[in-house]
Amino acid sequence: MAVVPEAGPATGYPVFAVTADLVVLTVREGALQVLLIRRGLEPYLGAWALPGGFVRGAEDLDAAARRELVEETGLTAPLGHLEQLASYGAPGRDPRGRVVTVAYLALVPDLPAPVAGGDAAGADWVALPAVGELAFDHARILADGVERARAKLEYTALATAFCPPEFTITELREVYEAVWGARLDPRNFHRKVTGTPGFVEPVGRSVAAERGRPAQLFRRGAAQLLHPPMLRPAP
Amino acid sequence: MAVVPEAGPATGYPVFAVTADLVVLTVREGALQVLLIRRGLEPYLGAWALPGGFVRGAEDLDAAARRELVEETGLTAPLGHLEQLASYGAPGRDPRGRVVTVAYLALVPDLPAPVAGGDAAGADWVALPAVGELAFDHARILADGVERARAKLEYTALATAFCPPEFTITELREVYEAVWGARLDPRNFHRKVTGTPGFVEPVGRSVAAERGRPAQLFRRGAAQLLHPPMLRPAP
DNA sequence: AGTCTTATCGTCATCATGACGAAAAAGGGA
DNA sequence: TCCCTTTTTCGTCATGATGACGATAAGACT
């Protein structure tokens, strides 16, 4: 039942199928969550898996990832962040044959619940501690993506990719706390964020929360990298 | 002349060839240098290119990269460092057809001159500023690899991968200076390196250089990450 | 008005860093 | 042997960033 042949036509080059799989992370309800689909086809029928699909014939890898992201989340705006994570191609990772997957990491703001499309029988956000078994080697890919996200919050301004266009410092801090799984001092965090040039820029308006003093609104600044970085608290 | 067919046998999945290409960096003569081969086959016959080759049928991606590294440098020891860099699969990047390359970054100590093997008509170390045109999209891959190496020296202990098993603090500093293209204060560098737990461990012996006070010998420590990182001087 | 809650601003000790002085440990030459 | 040069290694000092935490500001609610 090999979908993918094991050798090319004339030469001895092995032949592969290439997929783009996505680790789509968001922060919902104070927790880091990942977008998973329930597989509607064999193999791993009915199992949870990362969204993704085959790269098309005239398509770049990044374009395939972006297309899958739009199909699964509807997110096409300048919001969010998409970067290549890593590639996985162990010989036995897909029972259909030799499949190399190029994994991408997407960080998106809190979006409406996804709709199942394509080969998926269902799609939903799942909080990280609640993620169980995944199809293929997707558990490993997910772990790599989460670790990449945790590390990148330290030395880049990517945390704003989890936020809507305008946000408060507290919302930004809750992103860090959810991704890192650690509590941060609100006063020191406020000083660090507002004191780093280009991290965030004040909008000028304030918004009242449910309780307490209204908070200023900010939007993302021009800075990509944080100098000096914001280091996670020691474990 | 398409070596790689454009569609799979029964389904509509496009079919790819997969290669593993290597960005092998070292520090020689005080400069960052990269291992390049001169192509002995079409396309790009006679052009400089990164070493690499097709991933075999029953081979993992990492295994293919390690095999190519051994074939090109003879380096198989626990020395050095090898990690996946990124994948490149733009539709037109290889005139033979649809080829996705998984690029790897290798950091190795100063090795004897490489011998040309496989499809290569020649192989040599080239200092970075002297690198001209490269085949395929290898210039882009090389640039990504160099930037990855520069960034990783900041927050990991990977600089020791460029050094022999025993080295002096000055040799380690020259690695940083070559990779970053910047001069570092020897006194502050010495304090930072010896003060970071697990970065380097004293061997106990000293070695006399050509001039000046003999320097203590160190070997790499157990630390993988530097806390806090060693930041490059501002440009 | 008083209270509660959260946002924001300050203070202070500590740590890491950049700039740089100075001592230690070798060899070479007068 | 005694400087002189060179390089390694140790100190000093001012500055900037950080962690811990006090204090004030600005709303809603009773």
Residues B100, A16: C-beta atoms closer than 8 Å? yes
pLDDT at A11: 53
| Chain A environment of B11 (Cβ under 8 Å) | 3
Averaged confidence pLDDT in chain B: 91
pLDDT at B194 over 60: yes
Averaged confidence pLDDT in chain A: 91
pLDDT (tens digit, 9 = 90+) per residue, A159-193? 999 999 999 999 999 999 999 999 999 999 999 99
Q: Is the CB of A11 under 7 A from strand C?
A: no
> Which 3-state string (H, E, C) describes chain A?
CCCCCCCCCCCCCCCEEEEEEEEEEEEECCEEEEEEEEECCCCCCCCEECCEEECCCCCCHHHHHHHHHHHHHCCCCCCCEEEEEEEECCCCCCCCCCEEEEEEEEECCCCCCCCCCCCEEEEEEEEHHHCCCCCCCHHHHHHHHHHHHHHHHHHECHHHHHCCCCECHHHHHHHHHHHHCCCCCHHHHHHHHHHCCCCEEEEEEEECCCCCCCEEEEEECCCCECCCCCCCCCC
Give B211 CA → D4 C1' in Å: 13
pLDDT (tens digit, 9 = 90+) per residue, B63-107? 999 999 988 877 776 789 999 999 999 999 999 999 999 999 999
pLDDT at A71: 87
pLDDT at A26 over 50: yes
pLDDT at B8: 44
Average confidence (pLDDT) over A227-233: 92
pLDDT (tens digit, 9 = 90+) per residue, B6-16? 444 445 679 99
pLDDT-based confidence at residue A116 (cuts at 50, 70, 90): confident
pLDDT at A9 over 80: no
Better-scored residue on pLDDT, A207 or A113: A207
- Among protein residues, the one whose C-alpha sits closest to the C1' atom of D21 is A187
Q: How far is A63 from chain B (nearest CA, A)?
A: 9
Average confidence (pLDDT) over B6-34: 84
